[in-house]
Chains A and B, each alone.
Chain A
Amino acid sequence: MYNDSSFIAIFHKQINYYRVSVLTLQNISKSYGKIQALNKLSFEIPPGCVFGVLGPNGSGKTTLLSIILDVLKADTGNFLWFGQPGSPEQRKKIGSLLETPNFYHYLSAVNNLKITNSISGRGSANAIDDVLQKVNLYERRNSRFSSYSLGMKQRLAIAAALLGEPKVLVLDEPTNGLDPVGIAEIRELMIALNKQGHTIIMASHLLDEVEKVCTHVAILKRGELITTGHVNDVLVDDDIVEIGADNIDALAAAVYSYRQDIKVTRDENKIQLILPKGTAKLDEINSYCFSKDIVLNHLLFKKKRLEAKFFELTNN
């Protein structure tokens, strides 16, 4: 039986387990000669999320994942897995796919996964069959890796990451090279794993993928962290209202005082009001302009595309 103090201690331990970040990055910098690949990157990844590292090509996503997996050495800064400095023992518990599928070309899928199993201690002979079935490679399990198509190689890499059902998965462009059905399957698999409590850290340059799969996101641009947070906060798709009137200058002057939380852009004939998602009310805008003695001859609601938001964030 537990006494009160030991019960409280266990309770606090459990609470701390759930509180402690899966991964904490502290001022990580890395350069390749004159190229600054990462510049003082700091953020945390909470447990139980699907965390997307989003950025255009060359933004430092793979460099970041390589550092947290000890493939690359950071020039400065450090990182903590579950509050502890990175170590081989921790990596054994993390399923990872980094950049390209890396396997022994002369070995079969099963033998390659046996090597993964012998190094990491994750999984078993039965688990190898299970993951190969999960990624639809079971029929070709005894074929040499060198005979696989790009999509099959990617599937094997995902199988290796899933071996032994690790609680944390690090996946770099996981749907790279897959056909549309494969992409959908992998995305569904990631969502299902997340529902089972797995934390997934995923790098992608596909905004659509991050939006569909991730709960949290960090956006990188040329090695700098642009923003990070919950996907719904970071990748909010603003409302855009396009308006026009005979006297465009008077309209512009009027709308600047309409609301504090809007952005206004204009060209020769039209004005665009950018409002937070779900807050655009066309009748209210029309009434407001009319109250300022301006009759609108153009009023159009547009939903801002996420791509536009991404381009805006990364200035591409």
Chain B
Amino acid sequence: MKIKKYPAFWWVMGITALTYPGINYMFIGVYKNITEQQSSSGQIVKALIGNPFSFPEAWRTVAYFSSLFVFIPAIVIILLITNEYTYKTNRQNIIDGWSRRTFLTGKLFDVIILSVIVTALYFVVALVIGLSNTTHPAADNWKLAYYTGLFALQTFSQLSLAFMVGLLIRKSFIALAVFAFYFIIAEPISVNVLKYKYKNEIGEYFPLEISHRLLPKPAFIGRINQDAYNSALKAVNSHIFYTLILILITWAFCFWINNRRDL
């Protein structure tokens, strides 16, 4: 009932439902603008990158573009936990007879539910885009459908980090600002500065980057540097492992801190 009747949840889910197809259709529009040109350059681009929105590549392309907007459902996650502190309803839940562990387990399920909803949205968008852009149905339409699982894992990992930020900071606007700053500015800049200026790959293990590497760039972008793209594809399996470890650490820390501190 807490989620079902929470207006902010439906607003943000509505925005997410518009954003995920929106961003993908925007890139489809750009792609069509270039490739439908009769000029030689348009035809070269078409020959070079193929159609990233047809099956099976659509699974990967849509997953990549959609994953850039995980901060939108992260808003709901942050609000769900910080509101409990703002209105002291977490206290009331404990007073009414929940253990701290039960309270946080409930929140864990909220994050899981939201991850499932967001993944389902991705699945539908990828399916619709794939079907509408695939002219010749082939047997390997579902070849890259496993990206649904990778997308789910990345979403859950990043929403878990958003939850941790909310749990630690407790104030809605500060938590939202900190997460947005880290997600959009701090980590991407740090990772790239380390990589390109200091030739250091340590950024690979930064909290968001760990799961970010589950979904490599779409193949047509990867062709700019084929070696780097191939190694990114190879690294996915190890990043599945790192992401699982990170998720475990994130939630173990959340349970530990929730159990220790005053409410």
Residues of A within 8 A of B (CB): 66, 69-73, 88-89, 91-92, 96, 98-100, 102-107, 111, 114-116, 119-121, 160
Interchain CB contact under 8 A, B2 and A98: no
Can you show 28 pairs from A to B with CB atoms below 8 A apart? A69-B94, A69-B95, A71-B91, A71-B263, A73-B260, A73-B262, A89-B97, A92-B96, A92-B97, A96-B95, A96-B96, A99-B88, A100-B88, A102-B91, A103-B89, A104-B2, A104-B87, A104-B89, A106-B5, A106-B6, A106-B7, A107-B5, A114-B1, A115-B1, A115-B93, A119-B93, A160-B92, A160-B96
B102 interfacial contact with A, CB 8 Å: yes
Bitwise, B1-21 to A at CB < 8 A (1) or not (0) is 110011100000000000000
Closest approach, in angstroms, between the C-beta of B215 and any C-beta of chain A? Answer: 34
B99, B260, B262 — most chain A CB neighbours (10 Å): B262
Q: In the complex, A111→B97 CA distance in Å?
A: 17
Q: In the complex, A107→B9 CA distance in Å?
A: 14
Q: With a CB–CB cut-off of 8 A, which chain B residues contact A71?
A: 91, 94-95, 262-263
B98 interfacial contact with A, CB 8 Å: yes
Q: From known contacts A71-B91, A102-B88, infer whether A119 and B96 are also in contact, taking CB-CB under 8 Å.
A: yes
Q: In the complex, A236→B262 CA distance in Å?
A: 38
The answer, among A66, A88, A104, for a CB contact under 8 Å with B98, is: A88
The total of interchain contacts (Cβ-Cβ below 8 angstroms) comes to 68
By beta carbon, the residue of chain B nearest A99 is B88
Interchain CB contact under 8 A, B98 and A111: no
The answer, among A72, A89, A105, for a CB contact under 8 Å with B87, is: A105
Interchain CB contact under 8 A, A121 and B5: no
Interface set, chain B 107-160, CB cutoff 8 A to A: none
Q: With a CB–CB cut-off of 8 A, which chain A residues contact B87?
A: 102-105
Q: From known contacts A100-B88, A102-B87, infer whether A91 and B1 are also in contact, taking CB-CB under 8 Å.
A: no
Closest approach, in angstroms, between the C-beta of B96 and any C-beta of chain A? Answer: 4
Q: With a CB–CB cut-off of 8 A, which chain A residues contact B94?
A: 69-71, 91
Closest approach, in angstroms, between the C-beta of B102 and any C-beta of chain A? Answer: 7
By beta carbon, the residue of chain B nearest A96 is B95
Interchain CB contact under 8 A, B1 and A120: no
Closest approach, in angstroms, between the C-beta of A78 and any C-beta of chain B? Answer: 17
B88, B94, B96, B263 — most chain A CB neighbours (10 Å): B96
Q: In the complex, A18→B223 CA distance in Å?
A: 81
Q: With a CB–CB cut-off of 8 A, which chain B residues contact A99?
A: 88
Closest approach, in angstroms, between the C-beta of A74 and any C-beta of chain B? Answer: 10
Interchain CB contact under 8 A, A88 and B1: no
Interchain CB contact under 8 A, A88 and B97: yes
Q: With a CB–CB cut-off of 8 A, which chain B residues contact A91?
A: 94-97
Q: In the complex, A99→B1 CA distance in Å?
A: 25
Interchain CB contact under 8 A, B96 and A120: yes
Q: In the complex, A91→B93 CA distance in Å?
A: 10
A70, A114, A121 — most chain B CB neighbours (10 Å): A70
Q: In the complex, A92→B97 CA distance in Å?
A: 4
B89, B92, B260 — most chain A CB neighbours (10 Å): B92
Q: From known contacts A106-B5, A115-B2, infer whether A98 and B95 are also in contact, taking CB-CB under 8 Å.
A: yes
Q: With a CB–CB cut-off of 8 A, which chain A residues contact B93?
A: 115, 119
Interchain CB contact under 8 A, A120 and B97: yes
Q: In the complex, A90→B230 CA distance in Å?
A: 59
Contacts A71-B263, A115-B96 known; 7 new A-B pairs at CB < 8 A: A69-B95, A102-B91, A104-B87, A106-B7, A107-B1, A115-B93, A119-B98
By beta carbon, the residue of chain A nearest B259 is A73
Interface set, chain B 1-45, CB cutoff 8 A to A: 1-2, 5-7
By beta carbon, the residue of chain A nearest B262 is A72
Closest approach, in angstroms, between the C-beta of B201 and any C-beta of chain A? Answer: 42
Q: In the complex, A73→B1 CA distance in Å?
A: 29
By beta carbon, the residue of chain B nearest A93 is B97
Closest approach, in angstroms, between the C-beta of A140 and any C-beta of chain B? Answer: 17
Q: With a CB–CB cut-off of 8 A, which chain A residues contact B1?
A: 107, 111, 114-115
Q: With a CB–CB cut-off of 8 A, which chain B residues contact A104?
A: 2, 87, 89
Interchain CB contact under 8 A, B262 and A116: no
Interchain CB contact under 8 A, A111 and B5: yes
Q: With a CB–CB cut-off of 8 A, which chain B residues contact A96?
A: 95-96
Q: In the complex, A120→B92 CA distance in Å?
A: 11
Q: With a CB–CB cut-off of 8 A, which chain A residues contact B99?
A: 88
Q: With a CB–CB cut-off of 8 A, which chain B residues contact A114?
A: 1
Q: With a CB–CB cut-off of 8 A, which chain A residues contact B102?
A: 88
Q: In the complex, A114→B5 CA distance in Å?
A: 13
Q: In the complex, A102→B263 CA distance in Å?
A: 13
Q: In the complex, A96→B89 CA distance in Å?
A: 13
